[in-house]
A = this chain, B = another copy of it.
Amino acid sequence: MTDDAAKIIPVILSGGSGTRLWPMSVPERPKQFLPLTGTRTMFEQTLLRASDKGRFAPPLIVANARHADLIDDQLESAGVKPAAILLEPCARNTAPAIALAALEAGSAPLLIMPSDHVIADEPAFLAAVERALPLANDGWLITFGIAPDGPETGYGYIRIGEPLADRVHRVESFIEKPAKAAAEAMLAEGNHAWNGGIFLFRADVYLEALAKHSPAILAAAHKAISNAKREGARISPDEAAFAACPSDSIDYAIMEKADRVAVAPVAMGWSDVGSWDSLYEIDGRTSEHVLALETSNSLIRSDGIRIHTVGVSDLIIIASGNDVLIVPRGKSQDVKKIVEALK
């Protein structure tokens, strides 16, 4: 056992295609690879969030194979050397992605982090990880429960059960994306958290749970890893084996079925930057290449096209490459209508 054996292995998931942030986010370069909330991309921010060498081992990256070069660039930019980069030949959702990582990880605790989330209060997050770690080492599957700041209908909710340790509780139940009234009722009641897709558990515990609840995923992931091509840090799972794997989320495949499932509620300035409106809420700055006169309450970003506004308000204006999106603030979910129309 090396020193790293006792350390937490960050597992960074980079599977999303991020079409809700079109035109900047595109399949070739989805939102986690863009510097939307500062000079660092969200992928880099995620790498650096769990880079304290006293606590964390080098990360495992699980990503779409088409992003291999982008990931190399951003690892270098962040100054992070990964344990491995698992390059998925196709998307099979989170349960198989995490299985690939777990099969590379022995019995270390894994901190599963989507690469496209913003966490403004990192100390709060890391403190929650510390609180949950003993239970994870003891065989519990931990999910971090995001303190809800509104009756959002776009997230799953967790009903918080009996306490197991300081601010770590048994999960009483998982609640699917609710209707508005149900979301409001949960918010009024308290005792609920958003399911943010961040997890902590031992690799072997996850694989045991897979064996019990989703053996087909475990078998396919095992075969894909056994026949993987390895080249430096890159691991390319066998394409045919991985393509044959059932596609399922860790929530459906494991968390909602397993017995020892806990939630660590945490308020940490979390956002999944799920729309241009949500980016405006967390970082409304105007980018370079923009001249905005008498312009208010607007999000204006450009990576090159020169945008000039005068006298407008409450607009979202996003320019990328040769495309410009213009939509009223509060309506940025409608970008999907544009993306659909362009297909």
Contact = CB atoms under 8 A, between A and B. Distances in A.
A293 B324 contact: no
A305 B324 contact: yes
Given A326-B326, A338-B291, A331 B311 contact: yes
A315 interface: yes
A341 interface: yes
Contact of A291 (B309, B315, B342): B342
Interface in A313-328: 315, 317, 319, 322-328
B338 A325 contact: no
Contact of A308 (B304, B305, B311, B338): B338
Most buried by B among A310, A328, A331: A310
A306 interface: yes
A307 interface: yes
Copies of this chain in its oligomeric complex: 2
Contact of A319 (B23, B310, B324): B324
A259 interface: no
A308 B293 contact: no
B307 A341 contact: no
A334 B309 CA distance: 10
A337 interface: yes
Contacts of A325: 308-309
Most buried by B among A307, A308, A319, A325: A308
B323 A310 contact: no
A147 to B, nearest CB: 31
A126 interface: no
A244 interface: no
Given A291-B341, A312-B315, A306 B335 contact: no
Given A293-B337, A342-B291, A324 B308 contact: yes
A337 B309 CA distance: 10
Interface in A131-152: none
Contacts of A293: 334, 337-338, 341
Nearest to A300: B326
A294 B340 CA distance: 14
Given A315-B312, A341-B293, A306 B324 contact: yes
B337 A326 contact: no
Contact of A310 (B23, B307, B317, B334): B334
A328 to B, nearest CB: 5
Nearest to A293: B337
A305 B307 contact: no
A326 B305 contact: no
B323 A306 contact: yes
B337 A323 contact: no
A275 to B, nearest CB: 13
9 contacts: A23-B308, A291-B341, A293-B334, A293-B341, A294-B337, A306-B322, A308-B324, A312-B315, A324-B324
Given A293-B334, A305-B324, A312-B328, 8 more contacts: A305-B319, A310-B327, A310-B331, A310-B334, A310-B335, A311-B327, A312-B315, A312-B327
- Give 9 closest A-B pairs by Cβ, nearest first: A310-B334, A309-B326, A311-B331, A306-B323, A308-B338, A308-B325, A310-B327, A307-B324, A311-B328
